[in-house]
Every structure is written in C-alpha cells, then in structure tokens.
Amino acid sequence: MTVSFADLGLLPVLVDTVTELGYVEPTPIQSDAIPPLLAGRDVMGQAQTGTGKTAAFTLPMLQHLESEGLQTLILAPTRELAIQTAEAVYRYGNQLGVRVLPVYGGAPYSRQKRRLERGVHVVVGTPGRTLDLVKQGALDLSDVRYVVLDEADEMLKMGFIDDVEAILAATDADSRQTTLFSATLPDSIRRLANTYMHDPVHIAIEANEITVENINQRYYVVEERDKVAAISRLLEVENLHNTLIFARTKVGARELAETLLARGYPVDTIHGDLPQTERERILGRFRRGTLTMLVATDVVARGVDIPDVSHVINFDIPQLGIEYVHRIGRTGRAGRGGDAITLITPRQRHHLRQIEDYTRKRMTKCKLPTREDVLARREQDFRDIITAQINEDASDAEYKLLGDLMDLGYRAEWVAAAAIKLLRANEEQRPLEDIRDPYERPERDDRTNRRDRKDNRKSKSRNGHEYDEKSRNGKSRNSSNGKSHKGGNSHEDGMVRLYMDIGRGEGIKPGDVVYGVASQSGIPGKVIGAIHIQQHETYFDVPENHVDSVLRALGRGKIKGRSMTVVPAEGVFEPA
C-alpha cells in the first residue's frame, strides 16, 4: 500500500503545499525520514540528489516552525546548492511565512548581514561563509534547534570538515536535532555522525533500483518553444519501433499527441483522467502495434504494464532521478539495447546533471538532425520502399494501367514521377520548422571547480568573486530588451532582480509585467528595469527601495488573471 503525505503526519497546510507543487506521493526517502524527524529524532540518510531529500528534511522542520528567531541551519557544499535549497525551503514554507537566507562566498557580506539583522528563520549556507559570519558576530547560532548537513560527503571531500565542526560547536548540542544526508557513507562521515548526532535513525535508499546499463542515453538542448519541432525531427531520423514519450502534464501530453497525430504518426495518449478500461484499450493497441507511439504522464506510467519499447523520449525532463530511471527502464529490457532521449531547455542543464548524479551515468549531448538530414532520410526511405516494391512482381493489372496511360501519350517516366509525387504527399503533413540555436552559457563543472572556489574563498581572492559574479550575471543574448540577463541579481546598481513563476507560455508580455507590477504595488512603471520573459518564468528588476512593496503586493498575486508567485531571484527568500 502506498502512503500519502497526510499519512506521514504532516500538517494539512504542508500537505496542500506539496499537492499544489504536483507531488502525488512521497518518495521513499520522504516516507522513511519524515516520521522520525517529526518525532524529534536525529536522522542519517544515505540519499543522493534527485531522491526528494530536500523536502524530506524541510517539511518536518517547517511543521515545528516558530514565529520568530533563527531556528534552522542547513549546510550545503556549494553556492548553487545553497541557493537551490533556500528556494525549495521558501516554496515549501511560503504559506507558513518562512523567511530564508542563503549565505555563500563571493557575494558581499553587507547585504547578508543586513538581512540577518532583519531576522530570518532559516539560514542555508556554505560552511566557509557561514563560519565567517559566526566569527564576525553577525550570525548567532545559539538558538538553532534544527541542523542539516546536506551532501555531507561532498563537504568533507572539499576539506570543509574543520569549518563544519566549528559551526556545530557554535550550536547547542543538547537541544539540537541533527540530520545528515550523504550519497556515500565513508568512515569520516560515520565519525562525524558518532560525535555530533544523538542515536540517529539510519535510512538508506537502495541504489540497486538503478539499472540503466544497456540504455543509450542522449540529450538535446533546445528552447522550450522549439521542442515540438525538435521531437519531430528526431522522430523522422531515428529507427523507431515503438516509442514511449513522456510529458509533464496531462494537457501537455494531449497537445503533443494531437500535434503528432496531425503529422501522420499513429499515436495516442494515456493520462490520469482516462478511465481504466480506456487505458487498457489504448495499451492493447500499443501492444499489438496498431499504435507505435504513446504519449504518457508519469502517474499513468507507474501502474500499467507497458511492453518493452525501442525508444523512450522525455519530451519534458522528469523532476526526480527515480522517475527518470523508472521512465527509461521501459526500454532496454532483457539485455536488449534501448534508446533514451531527453530534451532539455538551457536552464534545465543543472537539473540534468542532478539526474546524472543520481544514475551515476553521463548522458551524451547530441546535436539535433538538420533539415538536410531529415530530407536525406526521407529520400532514402523512399528509395528503399520503391526498390523493395520493384523487386516484388507487379500484377498484370498494374502493367495494363501503365500501358493504357502510355497509349494516351504519357511517357513511363512521367507516370512514375507523378506517382512518386502522390506517394510522397504525406511528407507535406510534416513541416520542417526552423529551430533556433539555444542560448547556452558555458558550462562549469561544479564538482571539479569546487576546490578552486574553496581556495579562492580562503584567500578572499578577487578571482573567486569574479568567477561567481560572472557566472550569475553574464548578459543574455536572449534578453528581451538587450540589457537584461537571466536570473541572479541585477547587474545594475541599486536594482534587485525578482522572479515570477509565469512567462511566455502563460501569455505574459513585457507590458503585462509593467502594468501588473505597477498597478498592484503602486510603484511607477517607469522605474521597472530589465524584463526577461522565458517560457514559464519571468525575471524583472526593480529598484532596491521598491522591492518590499512589490513582494508585499505580488508575493502571491495575479497577473493577467493568473495566479503567480514573485520571489527574489536570489538573496533572501521571505514572504512579504
């Protein structure tokens, strides 16, 4: 029997929050870790990223959130993870009014200190910067009751052990509840746990579910708006037998299936809204080969018996590593090879890396087939069909028809050319749309660069600072007005970058952002700076002195009648 979030003993407000986020059921690490954490036990979990561990340690903490004071410290090995975790804590605890601050090296101390002075409930920090702030008297950990060491093995590998121990020593050992998550449990981690944890509950998520060895895993980077064009090209050039395509939502699955149907593919869709009998009927057609493509959502894919397929295509990348493994496990069964293809947008690259960390296998980055590749493939397929047909004897009736046409004065090659044209008419159903080059920032490998960053941090070198700032604030070629950039803090002095979770896909245009923000928060429209609209998210800059008004008015507001959330793109995460 599967457990629900409510079964785990979580408050209804938290159950509502995760349900709104689209989580259907707890992941194994969540079902195992949440009850003991709610009961106040220390927990030591062996789990990687992609297992849902962040919610596992955050939800119990939020359940016991008190209205004032710094009560939780989460240590993370890198700046990226600290920001990402702070964002997750904010999302899970928004309805409870949680205030979260990520602290990390490479960013000015002044702002982090100001935020600390104003009061936060949760600090998510890298060990180096956290300890610096403690030593400077800006961060008082004496009342912290809940400490999380996230990716503990990474922190130790990076040489942060002394810092972590010094930080733990600054907290009250008797009242502290300590949680440790780590992908591996070497002796150094066990020693740390023995010294600083009280009789921890041990939880391990088996890695043996991961069996993706014979699957050829590839990915393609493409802007969201070009995904249909991209999958269309792939479907033309791959040697498909039967293909399972995964979409994130029911609506998305239905739309994609309709598009592919219009292009002449024998496809149908299964999703949660369909009655069981209907699902069975569609699956039966897929098994028999009447349908060679199926577009599905995860919910459905879980409980049903889908036969081995030649290709799994992730039209939308799954959220969880475990989901990814589950999806691609539909191919390559019984030792046969299989193909798993994933489409990602440039912003999802980090997410892809997390899934790779989970499977412990790299996917190969590939280039989409060009228009010429597709045309050449169509040509070749046609030749194959025709030559195969020539080798089969045509019937007398067909020769007679040809003879009749020739008697009328048509030459054999004219008839052949006309027949070819007719036979290939179905290709017109499959338009070859342009695909723009995705904008990709040069990739840094977090894991190999971590040590550099730590060295920079120690020496407070200018380099370390530039490294971080550049990676966050590099100007985007995609910017809507030429001066904006993606994510991060604004590069304009005195401006702060905010984020809202709707974008082009929801019909948002720059004018809507200006009007929506100005009319609801009362700030003049002309002070709003760079606006960068992406498929499902928007970044916009407002002057620092107006940030509070905007967050107060739009923290959970509406634009163009659509509910949305505005949060700082980076920095403190606190509801207005």
How many residues bind to ligand AMP according to rule CB under 6 A?
A: 13
Is 18 or 103 the residue whose CB approaches ligand AMP more closely? 18
Is 30 or 476 the residue whose CB approaches ligand AMP more closely? 30
Closest CB 339 distance from ligand AMP, rounded Å: 24
Is 24 or 394 the residue whose CB approaches ligand AMP more closely? 24
Of the residues 17, 31, 46, 51, which one makes contact with ligand AMP according to CB under 6 A: 51
Closest CB 130 distance from ligand AMP, rounded Å: 20
Of the residues 10, 14, 37, 55, which one makes contact with ligand AMP according to CB under 6 A: 55
Which tokens hold the place of 152?
A: 């503990």
Of the residues 54, 130, 179, 348, which one makes contact with ligand AMP according to CB under 6 A: 54
Of the residues 50, 106, 438, 557, which one makes contact with ligand AMP according to CB under 6 A: 50
**CA–CA separation, 17 and 7 (whole Å):** 15
Does 158 sit near ligand AMP (CB under 6 A)? no
Taking every pair of Cα atoms in the chain, the longest distance, rounded to a whole number of angstroms, is: 103
Does 49 sit near ligand AMP (CB under 6 A)? yes
CB count, 10 Å around CB of 274? 16
Closest CB 29 distance from ligand AMP, rounded Å: 8
Closest CB 30 distance from ligand AMP, rounded Å: 6
**CA–CA separation, 56 and 35 (whole Å):** 10
Is 319 or 456 the residue whose CB approaches ligand AMP more closely? 319
Does 53 sit near ligand AMP (CB under 6 A)? yes
DSSP string, 186-249: -HHHHHHHHHH-SSPEEEE--GGG---TTEEEEEEE--GGGHHHHHHHHHHHS--SSEEEE-SS
- Residue-wise burial string across 141-165, b where 16 or more C-beta atoms lie within 10 A, e elsewhere: beebbbbbbbbbbbbbbbebbebbe
Does 60 sit near ligand AMP (CB under 6 A)? no
Three-class secondary structure of residue 38 per DSSP = helix
In which residue are the tokens 């040809």 written? Answer: 402
Q: Are strands 311-314 and 338-344 parallel, antiparallel or unpaired?
A: parallel
Closest CB 38 distance from ligand AMP, rounded Å: 16
**Can you name the residues that pair with 46 across neighbouring β-strands?**
182, 204
Three-class secondary structure of residue 108 per DSSP = coil
Taken in order 170, 171, 174, 178, the sign of the CA dihedral is negative
**Can you name the residues that pair with 178 across neighbouring β-strands?**
147
CA distances from 351 to 32, 159, 209, 435, 485 (A): 24, 25, 20, 23, 20
Closest CB 179 distance from ligand AMP, rounded Å: 13
In which residue are the tokens 């990915």 written? Answer: 219
CA distances from 58 to 14, 38, 62, 90, 573 (A): 10, 11, 6, 10, 15
Is 30 or 359 the residue whose CB approaches ligand AMP more closely? 30
- Window 18-47: contact mask with ligand AMP (x via CB under 6 A): -----x--xx--x-----------------
Closest CB 117 distance from ligand AMP, rounded Å: 30
Closest CB 119 distance from ligand AMP, rounded Å: 26
Does 52 sit near ligand AMP (CB under 6 A)? yes
Which stretches within 119-160 are classed as H helix? 127-135, 152-157
DSSP annotation of 475 reads P
**Options 33-41, 52-60, 362-370, 464-472: segment touching ligand AMP (CB under 6 A):** 52-60
Is 80 or 132 the residue whose CB approaches ligand AMP more closely? 80
Is 126 or 242 the residue whose CB approaches ligand AMP more closely? 126
Per CB under 6 A, contacts with ligand AMP among 317-346 are: 319-320
CB-CB contact of 538 with 500 (8 Å): yes
Is 29 or 283 the residue whose CB approaches ligand AMP more closely? 29
Closest CB 46 distance from ligand AMP, rounded Å: 13
**Options 37-45, 49-57, 158-166, 471-479: segment touching ligand AMP (CB under 6 A):** 49-57
Closest CB 23 distance from ligand AMP, rounded Å: 4
Is 324 or 540 the residue whose CB approaches ligand AMP more closely? 324
Is 30 or 314 the residue whose CB approaches ligand AMP more closely? 30
Per CB under 6 A, contacts with ligand AMP among 262-321 are: 319-320
Does 232 sit near ligand AMP (CB under 6 A)? no
Closest CB 89 distance from ligand AMP, rounded Å: 11
Is 51 or 178 the residue whose CB approaches ligand AMP more closely? 51
Is 219 or 265 the residue whose CB approaches ligand AMP more closely? 219
**CA–CA separation, 484 and 491 (whole Å):** 8
Does 534 sit near ligand AMP (CB under 6 A)? no
Closest CB 516 distance from ligand AMP, rounded Å: 26
Closest CB 93 distance from ligand AMP, rounded Å: 14
Closest CB 466 distance from ligand AMP, rounded Å: 28
Closest CB 203 distance from ligand AMP, rounded Å: 14
Does 182 sit near ligand AMP (CB under 6 A)? no
**Which helix (H) or strand (E) covers residue 341, if one does?**
strand 338-344
Q: Is 95 exposed, middle or buried (0-12, 13-18, 19+ CB in 10 A)?
A: middle
**CA–CA separation, 520 and 118 (whole Å):** 25
Q: Are strands 495-500 and 531-533 parallel, antiparallel or unpaired?
A: unpaired
DSSP string, 368-394: PPPHHHHHHHHHHHHHHHHHHHHHSPP
Is 339 or 537 the residue whose CB approaches ligand AMP more closely? 537
Does 575 sit near ligand AMP (CB under 6 A)? no
Angle in degrees, 0-180, between the axes of helices 371-391 and 227-237, rounded to the nearest 10:
30
Is 319 or 490 the residue whose CB approaches ligand AMP more closely? 319
Which tokens hold the place of 94?
A: 């928004």
Contact residues toward ligand AMP (CB under 6 A) are 23, 26-27, 30, 49-55, 319-320
